[in-house]
Structure 1
């Protein structure tokens, strides 16, 4: 046990410093695109933080003899790991450093909050509460975390879409085409616009795909939670704050998918809904923990 606690302490610190290094090097690499040193540093520290975080979860699993999703702290570790993995998979498809530069600060803040913002008792490995001693623990909570991670990343891409579009419109306003513009300058401006449009289209498509992937996970997580609630508390739905905000989150992303599939919306309109979903999902996951106690007492901050 002493050895496992020592390893856990080391991995906690290693993950934190690797995340800091990955975040800083990724942002520096964003401004110095041709720097192989910063690009390699960003990739190594990014992979290192992911590997260290996964090891930390495995150590807690081995030490506690249960899947490490029993409280808010462990769910933060799990969510951070899924976000890092999903980000690196998305990078392979998007071929852009922008998603890394947005996701890493988010994961760093989340990890910092888990390690320094929560009560120290939450980080101590203890036995499971009676209400959590169920096979539904791994099923419900892991699926919910998977849905949160994919929805957060998808809505983060929606936010990125709006940011790029905003700065693109600003750039276009500041460099209007005129009859006196030379042919070379005009071609450069048109080429830049085409690159921006292509990037926006790719971001929009992958935002839709990630949200489309996360929504069934969220639906399955809510259903499995209702079944588990009936088994543990004798009621499928109790309008607990966590349950209520999970329903609101589901409705927001249901509207997003409805507008894309039925209304045929895309681009700025759906990106605005996805960006709203980014805020709502954080209220659901963390915000309600500051409102008061509910049936999900193991996840609340006291």
Structure 2
């Protein structure tokens, strides 16, 4: 007599929780960040107010989460720590060492590192375009590695410049995001980092040629500004910028600017492909559309935060949350533009060439808010004038 087996219903097993998926290296990385933050607090806490201490301590879990989510951040943090601390040790507390020590003069003083960053970004652009034109992944791979090298040296230069500002004078020292020279470096680095993240997530090298164009344009302006205005010289902060608000408002703002610029360059690729150009060399239209949407969504979130922080800062510095200063007015225009773009996409299904053209026009609006206001208009933000 045959026995029939009743099929068993498979038992559903829920995936492990987020923290249970983390391994020993993940926790070691987080512990190292926390240790570094506590060391900095112990050594420099006497020079910080309560808000700056909070920013320092919150940076540890923030960068820990980034490193857990995107593994590349781990080695980036380690390399930056090694290079920046090695450079700082060479100074021996004396700024003139930057002109006498070989390691500093030709590699890792702030100006040298930023010049290397600029050169590497230009070379990265050439290799990305060479790979696209010749249909070779080799050019894109080399371009990607050069872009990573530029990011490393750029952030190293910024960290060393931060230290150099304190060597100029204890009352001069400040985080290097206070003038056009410094924020153009920040813009280039943020745009490059977000691009490299999307490059890895979507496993494509074909967006590099387009995104690197806007980065190279920023670097070109940076070099012109450096030569024509001697902008690399470290200057004391104007009174309006002597606030801890600057440490969070400016980075949040430039995450918005960087991702909006990235979205616009992806929009150019979208428009070319949708018109039958470079069809076999660019990612699918769906991929381009998705990158464009995610970049704008991230940028809008951070730009919103930056605008709110800016209003709070204005209330402290000038006695009012909003004064219709030209910079504030154009920031509102930028915000409304991308709020409308996201509304149309989420509520009305905005896609295709209209969305791409809108994102491209958005870059022109953003550029005027970022740079044009400084060139042609005056107001409470006139300390950022060209």
CA positional deviation for 1:209: 1.2
Task: Tell me what 1:58 maps to.
Answer: 159
CA positional deviation for 1:140: 0.8
2:121 is equivalent to residue 27 of structure 1 = no
Measured against aligned partners, the alpha-carbon deviations of 1:103-129 in whole angstroms (never above 9, x if no partner) come to 212111211211213553432112221
Question: Partners of 2:204 and 2:157 in 1: how far apart?
Answer: 29
Q: Does the 8 Å CA contact 2:264/2:359 hold for their aligned counterparts?
A: yes
Among candidates 192, 201, 209, match of residue 93 of structure 1: 201
State which structure, 1 or 2, has the greater radius of gyration over its C-alpha atoms. 2
Task: Tell me what 1:151 maps to.
Answer: 260
Determine helix, strand or coil for the equivalent of 2:125. Answer: helix
Among candidates 234, 257, 275, match of residue 319 of structure 2: 234
Aligned CA distance change for structure 1 residues 89 and 293 (closer, same or farther; 3 Å): same
Measured against aligned partners, the alpha-carbon deviations of 1:136-170 in whole angstroms (never above 9, x if no partner) come to 011111110111111221232223211211235x9
CA positional deviation for 1:20: 1.9
Determine helix, strand or coil for the equivalent of 1:15. Answer: helix
Structure 2, unaligned runs of 5 or more: 1-94, 100-104, 166-172
CA positional deviation for 1:260: 0.8
Task: Tell me what 1:84 maps to.
Answer: 192
Question: Partners of 2:141 and 2:205 in 1: how far apart?
Answer: 12
Determine helix, strand or coil for the equivalent of 2:136. Answer: coil
Taking structure 2 as the reference length, the TM-score comes to 0.67
Among candidates 14, 18, 31, match of residue 116 of structure 2: 14
Deviates more, 1:80-89 or 1:106-115: 106-115
Question: Partners of 1:9 and 1:206 in 2: how far apart?
Answer: 33
CA positional deviation for 1:46: 1.5
2:361 is equivalent to residue 267 of structure 1 = no
CA positional deviation for 1:293: 2.3
CA positional deviation for 1:4: 4.2
Question: Partners of 1:105 and 1:4 in 2: how far apart?
Answer: 32
Measured against aligned partners, the alpha-carbon deviations of 1:227-278 in whole angstroms (never above 9, x if no partner) come to 1111101121111111111111111101101101111222222222212212
Question: Partners of 2:236 and 2:314 in 1: how far apart?
Answer: 20
2:43 is equivalent to residue 43 of structure 1 = no
Count residues in correspondence. 276
Question: Partners of 1:221 and 1:108 in 2: how far apart?
Answer: 25
Q: Does the 8 Å CA contact 1:164/1:200 hold for their aligned counterparts?
A: yes
Question: Partners of 2:212 and 2:354 in 1: how far apart?
Answer: 26
Among candidates 106, 111, 133, match of residue 214 of structure 2: 106
Aligned CA distance change for structure 1 residues 205 and 81 (closer, same or farther; 3 Å): same
Higher relative contact order (CA 8 A, sep 6+): 1
Structure 1, unaligned runs of 5 or more: 172-191
Task: Tell me what 2:244 maps to.
Answer: 135
Q: Does the 8 Å CA contact 1:94/1:203 hold for their aligned counterparts?
A: no
Measured against aligned partners, the alpha-carbon deviations of 1:179-235 in whole angstroms (never above 9, x if no partner) come to xxxxxxxxxxxxx7xx97x71011101211111111111111111101111110112
Task: Tell me what 1:245 maps to.
Answer: 330
Deviates more, 1:74-83 or 1:198-207: 198-207
CA positional deviation for 1:35: 5.7
Q: Does the 8 Å CA contact 1:4/1:63 hold for their aligned counterparts?
A: no
4+ runs of 1 displaced by more than 6 Å? none
Deviates more, 1:4-13 or 1:103-112: 4-13
Question: Partners of 1:91 and 1:30 in 2: how far apart?
Answer: 14
Aligned CA distance change for structure 1 residues 34 and 275 (closer, same or farther; 3 Å): closer
Among candidates 96, 106, 111, match of residue 2 of structure 1: 96
Taking structure 1 as the reference length, the TM-score comes to 0.85
Question: Partners of 1:274 and 1:41 in 2: how far apart?
Answer: 29
Q: Does the 8 Å CA contact 1:25/1:42 hold for their aligned counterparts?
A: yes
